[in-house]
Structure 1
Amino acid sequence: MSEGVERADDTTPATGLEAFFSRGMDEVLLDPRVTEQVQAALDALESGTARAATDDGAGTWRAHPWVKQAILAAFSLSELTPYPQWPGGAVDKSLVPAREMSMADGVRVVPGGTSVRRGAHVSPGVVVMPPSYVNVGARVGPGTMVDSHVLVGSCAQVGRGVHLSAAVQLGGVLEPVGARPVVVEDGAFVGAQCGLYEGVVVREAAVLAPGVTLTASTTIHDLVRERTHRGEVPSGAVVVPGTRPARGDYATAHGLSLYAPCIVKYRDADTTAAVALEDALR
């Protein structure tokens, strides 16, 4: 396990928050302390003392349902509010507006339409190019590059030193509350226009070529180790888009193929050099 992938007990918040939001939603919303507790939960997510999912130390990522319950409570309690200070004006839920980033955050947010929403953690050293969106409950680790037109969906977990290239989409998840979010571990490189959805895990230092799309049910064919993977890209794997012949007479007659991403190698010095980001760009 790398330094940047924290164990579940490394970011355990005050037990009061977890206990409060682990009850049924009806009971939570009727509690007179709910607004105060929602704000405390969002503060904990922003500071990084709480997170939507953590590695259990054995390589399994587990969602924390109480965090999603707190976010859902924030939406339920919110009213639509205008935000005229944003270019062109904006209207959003009152408890989860866009954050106003400052020098104290240690994050470089280039002007041009980017939003980091309340309840999202963006670590010092992150660079966010415009326009991009980091949604509530998401976490972006130190030194990560978020390139233009990137979506880091609700509760997605992005590690240290990751490169999310232009137009990458990391799907979000709030319901069901126990569902694992998308996870991109430390040092991974996600190529332009890749899409990761349904709780896919990209392991440490993996490389996804441009255009790779993965869901929980996508079969990844490992041409190196001669096996298949679903829902997870192994550490250091280099994945490219591929195809395989579709079955059946009709498919054969029309020369049809199905999408089949393939692992063509595992990361080596040449791969690392090819995906390295110049320090000057940070």
Structure 2
Amino acid sequence: MSLQTDIDDLWNQYQTDDIDADSAHSSDLDTLDEFLAALETGEIRAAENDGGSGPDAWSVNEWVKQGILLNFGLRHTEPRAYGDVMYHDVLPLRDTDDLATRGTRNTPNGTTIRRGAYLGEDCIMMSPSFVNVGAYVGDGTLVDSCDTVGSCAQIGEGVKLGANTLIGGVLEPVEDNPVIVEDGVSLGAGCRVTSGFVVGENSIVGENTLLTPRIPVYDLVDEEVFYGHLPANRRAFTRFVESSLGDHELFAGGAYKPAVVALDVEEDTIDATRREEALRD
């Protein structure tokens, strides 16, 4: 049987019999260990690109998300060690012995990679930073200091996550796409990407920008308003627009709400990005 079939069978049994960690068989845990190993090698992933850019180009693998949830439901919380620090979790941290052979670096004192996370070739993880179970980080991507990559988030190749950037995770509902940051994206320091938002390839996002489906993206290229995604090849930043609360007596000076403005990526900005990549190489 395939790994997907094994996970499907376990999921159906778990849903039917309400299995908990005390009733899990050793063979079930062997299947889950195989599943985590497949995530770590990139053999399987929570969502995959079907070609192109944007939300319609991605499909979620529900069974992969189910496999992650099974790891939480069928394992006991155990005391574990991270250096001199004791912690308690159902999953250990990921073995990082394979990273050096692929040119990937994780600096000391606080780069934390949970089991079931994938890091590609020539990646850099600066401390402190955290990559959660089910996340996929593509080749040549920088995860900078104080960054968090949430469960099942899909980060493309050649991406730069600026310092103190939060990439949210979407584990449930299993049918929903996770946060996706496509190839070549640069997120400025302090950005937040949440709730299944899709950042289109080769876009450059200004510092402290919040990208979430609840905040509109005013795309001045196609002259449309988008929710839940930033089109490819855009330069985006936060601006404030008038709110419907503006005429409320408590807002004598007017009320405003955040929005994202998207423009064409300017060629000189692209050149600056290429210069930075050259320095890293």
Aligned residue identity for 1:52: A
Q: How does 1:76-91 map to 2 (within 5 A)?
A: 76-84=73-81, 86-91=82-87
In 2, Cα distance between equivalents of 1:101 and 1:31: 28
TM-score (norm 2): 0.87
In 2, Cα distance between equivalents of 1:112 and 1:31: 35
Higher mean C-alpha displacement, 180-189 vs 270-279:
270-279
Aligned residue identity for 2:215: T
Residue 73 of structure 1: aligned partner: 70
In 2, Cα distance between equivalents of 1:60 and 1:189: 20
Shift of residue 271, structure 1, vs aligned partner: 1.5
Residue 111 of structure 2: aligned partner: 114
Give structure 1 regions of 4+ aligned residues with deviation exceeding 4 angstroms: 27-31
| Unmatched tracts of structure 1, length 5 or more | 1-12
In 2, Cα distance between equivalents of 1:130 and 1:35: 31
| CA pair 17-273 structure 1, distance change in 2 beyond 3 A | farther
In 2, Cα distance between equivalents of 1:259 and 1:105: 41
TM-score (norm 1): 0.87
**Count of matched residue pairs:** 267
Shift of residue 91, structure 1, vs aligned partner: 1.6
Higher mean C-alpha displacement, 231-240 vs 56-65:
56-65
Q: How does 1:47-58 map to 2 (within 5 A)?
A: 47-57=41-51
Residue 30 of structure 2: aligned partner: 36
Aligned residue identity for 1:93: D
TM-superposition CA deviations, 1:18-51 (whole Å, max 9, x none) = 5435525335846743211111111110010100
Higher mean C-alpha displacement, 60-69 vs 138-147:
60-69
In 2, Cα distance between equivalents of 1:99 and 1:127: 16
Shift of residue 61, structure 1, vs aligned partner: 1.5
Shift of residue 173, structure 1, vs aligned partner: 1.7
Q: How does 1:190-209 map to 2 (within 5 A)?
A: 190-209=187-206
TM-superposition CA deviations, 1:160-179 (whole Å, max 9, x none) = 10011101101012111111
TM-superposition CA deviations, 1:93-122 (whole Å, max 9, x none) = 24x211131223531001120101100000
| CA pair 186-278 structure 1, distance change in 2 beyond 3 A | closer
Match of 1:132 among 126, 129, 133: 129
Are 2:88 and 1:92 aligned? yes
In 2, Cα distance between equivalents of 1:167 and 1:142: 21
User: Would the aligned equivalents of 1:121 and 1:137 in 2 still touch at CA under 8 Å?
Assistant: yes
User: Would the aligned equivalents of 2:11 and 2:70 in 1 still touch at CA under 8 Å?
Assistant: no
User: Would the aligned equivalents of 1:21 and 1:66 in 2 still touch at CA under 8 Å?
Assistant: no
Residue 5 of structure 1: aligned partner: none
Aligned residue identity for 1:273: D
Are 2:13 and 1:20 aligned? no
SS of the residue aligned with 1:104? Answer: helix
Residue 234 of structure 1: aligned partner: 231
Higher mean C-alpha displacement, 219-228 vs 109-118:
219-228
Residue 144 of structure 1: aligned partner: 141
Aligned residue identity for 1:97: P
User: Would the aligned equivalents of 1:152 and 1:169 in 2 still touch at CA under 8 Å?
Assistant: yes
In 1, Cα distance between equivalents of 2:259 and 2:144: 26
User: Would the aligned equivalents of 1:17 and 1:41 in 2 still touch at CA under 8 Å?
Assistant: no
In 1, Cα distance between equivalents of 2:101 and 2:28: 29
TM-superposition CA deviations, 1:238-282 (whole Å, max 9, x none) = 11110111234227632321111101x212321112334244435
TM-superposition CA deviations, 1:204-251 (whole Å, max 9, x none) = 101111111011222101123321111011010111110111234227
| Unmatched tracts of structure 2, length 5 or more | none
